[in-house]
Amino acid sequence: MADKRALFEVSAKGYTQTQLEVENAVSHMPTITLRKGAQLNARLLDENGKAVAWARVGVGQIWAQEKSPPNSAPLPFQRNTYTDRAGLFTLNDLDPQGVLVWANHPDFGVVSQKVVPTDGVVDIQIERLRLYSVSGVVALNDGAVDEMEVMAFPVKRPSGAFTPPRDQVDAEGAYLLPDLDPGTYQVSVNIRQEVEYEGRKIFTSRPAQSRMIEVVDRDVIVNFEPLGDARITGVATHNGDPVVGAYVGSFVLGEDPKDRVSAGTATTDKDGHFELKKLPAGKIVISFHKMEQPSAGGKQWSKVDTVDLTGKKELSYLVKLDMQERKSLRVGQKAPNFVAKRLDGSTFNLADYRGKKAVLIDFWATWCPPCVDEIPNIRKIADTYQTEGLEVVGVSLDRDQKALEDFVKEEKLNYVQVFYKEKGQDISKSYGVWGIPSVFLIDKNGVIQATQFRGGATEEAVKKLLAEIKQQSSSD
């Protein structure tokens, strides 16, 4: 372990806890200076000035559910405590300049506030957690009510594993989604149906109708009923051949884009036919989408069109879908070279690393929740292995450079970030990327060694490759 970085965590009674990262910790004797600690006497109060009893409190950084964890782990020595009946608590050996105090209570959630220790008692005020509900009646007449459920998808999805709130529609068509945080939600009615897949029958859910709603400061009522009695029948083709199994979605746009209402879905059959029913009069936006082998390049058929049902009960529609094809990249193939601008304005050339370093490429974007979920893993890999022969490169498919810059700064991402708005899609196409996040691990010779992994599997692949490179270098 000689000449490697080491992280020292020191705790001593009467002194503030200290964390220090030292280069060459074995070759050079590190000096760690401790500072005298202070005592914090504080009282936890709600928004009405009433004491909050039996809340768990402590010192350290906490993070909101939608954000990723902080860069450094909390110091292991810091104890936490509970407020008494009067809301009072004491914490010792704190930084006199101020500390971040967190509090956790079932009625308030987890909150944090910076506090400077003083000689007296410091009042810390927190607001009670406010939750709301969405309820209503489903009267779509589109299947038995026992086959319908209602779900609420938050537009700003929490990171990590997430299950959207849902409720089965009862015999009267009623539903209730309680305990929702304030925010924007897509509330969707889904119908359970049996379909045939690869020669066997499976159950899946078909979206019947959905709406975007705002939950601000009160409970919300959303009823679902048929939007109209018009229908669209049609055929989807490409180069004269029917496109089988394409997903067909429809929605009605209001004056405000936020008022978009999903009007139903369908799937094209073996002849490319589809039918959309119970549509309102007016302009309907229809989208078509199908993917084949998305994890290995493959093909994508798509189209977005607008049709006018004003004054019509039925419309026949023939649509010609566009098709894109991307080559498949597999383990053992050469990674395509690309030259692009880094976020700092300098030029990045993948070929510069040939014969020098392994490269981990992460295709991602700040607007992609699964990508943001992976950032702590990617950042840890970059911080841990960049001195051991690995370069981590984020290829951002963001549309807004400032949003990317703000995210990189907030999350303290110190690895290479490529942002090339004009060519980002071209780079992703050359790697056969349809969806993100998509990660490629490339060895020193420019050969792809692993791809399509997430979480801990990414670091395991990196460790394995670097060990193989080290072993090969020692035998040469």
Nearest to 288 by CA among 309, 271, 265: 265
Can you give the pLDDT at residue 199? Answer: 62
pLDDT digits (tens, 9 = 90+) for 78-119: 567 899 999 999 998 888 888 888 888 877 767 778 889 888
- CB under 8 Å to 354, separation ≥6 — which residues? 444, 445, 446
Fold of 130-225: Immunoglobulin-like (2.60.40)
Can you give the pLDDT at residue 369? Answer: 78
**Per-residue pLDDT at 234 exceeds 90:** yes
Split at pLDDT 50, 70, 90, the class of 27 is low
| Cα 221 from Cα 215, distance rounded (Å) | 10
Q: Six-digit token pair at 56?
A: 């768990």
pLDDT digits (tens, 9 = 90+) for 133-146: 999 999 886 666 67
199: left (phi over 0), alpha (psi -120 to 50) or beta: left
Phi, psi of 118 (to 5 degrees): -130, 180
Q: Six-digit token pair at 156?
A: 């700003």
Q: Which stretch of 14-18, 88-92, 95-99, 441-445 has the lowest confidence by average pLDDT? A: 14-18
Please name the amino acid found at residue 432: G
Fold of 339-475: Glutaredoxin (3.40.30)
Which residues of the chain are in CATH 3.40.30.10 domains? 339-475
Split at pLDDT 50, 70, 90, the class of 202 is low
Which residues of the chain are in CATH 2.60.40.10 domains? 6-125
**Per-residue pLDDT at 328 exceeds 80:** no
Averaged over 234-238, what is the pLDDT? 95
Averaged over 404-423, what is the pLDDT? 85
Count Cα atoms within 13 angstroms, Cβ side, for 72: 12
pLDDT digits (tens, 9 = 90+) for 277-288: 889 888 899 999
Looking up tokens 């490339």 gives 442
Can you give the pLDDT at residue 264? Answer: 83
Split at pLDDT 50, 70, 90, the class of 259 is low
Which residues of the chain are in CATH 2.60.40.1120 domains? 130-225, 229-324
Higher pLDDT, 461 or 157: 461
Higher pLDDT, 58 or 425: 58
- Cis bond before residue 437 (omega within 30° of 0): yes
Q: Where are the alpha helices (DSSP H) in 361-416?
A: 369-385, 401-411
Split at pLDDT 50, 70, 90, the class of 447 is very high
Question: Which superfamily is assigned to 6-125 in CATH?
Answer: Immunoglobulins (2.60.40.10)
Count Cα atoms within 13 angstroms, Cβ side, for 390: 29
Residue % of the chain over a pLDDT of 70: 84
Split at pLDDT 50, 70, 90, the class of 401 is confident
What predicted TM-score, i.e. pTM, was given to this entire model? 0.57
Q: Which stretch of 59-63, 250-254, 421-425 has the lowest confidence by average pLDDT? A: 59-63
Is domain 229-324 in CATH 2.60.40.1120, yes or no?
yes
Count Cα atoms within 13 angstroms, Cβ side, for 410: 13
What is the pLDDT of the chain when averaged over all its residues? 83
Split at pLDDT 50, 70, 90, the class of 227 is confident
Q: Please report, to the nearest 10 degrees, the dihedral formed by the alpha carbons of residues 190, 192, 193, 197 taken in order.
A: 90
Averaged over 245-254, what is the pLDDT? 86
Can you give the pLDDT at residue 254? Answer: 66
**Per-residue pLDDT at 73 exceeds 60:** no
Can you give the pLDDT at residue 2? Answer: 43
Please write down the long-range contacts of 238-245, taking CB distance under 8 Å and 24 or more positions apart.
238/301, 238/320, 238/321, 238/322, 238/323, 242/268, 242/270, 242/271, 242/272, 242/273, 243/268, 243/272, 243/288, 243/290, 243/301, 243/321, 244/268, 244/269, 244/270, 244/271, 244/272, 245/290
Beta strands in 23-77 (DSSP E): 38-45, 56-59
Can you give the pLDDT at residue 449? Answer: 93
Nearest to 443 by CA among 359, 387, 386, 363: 359
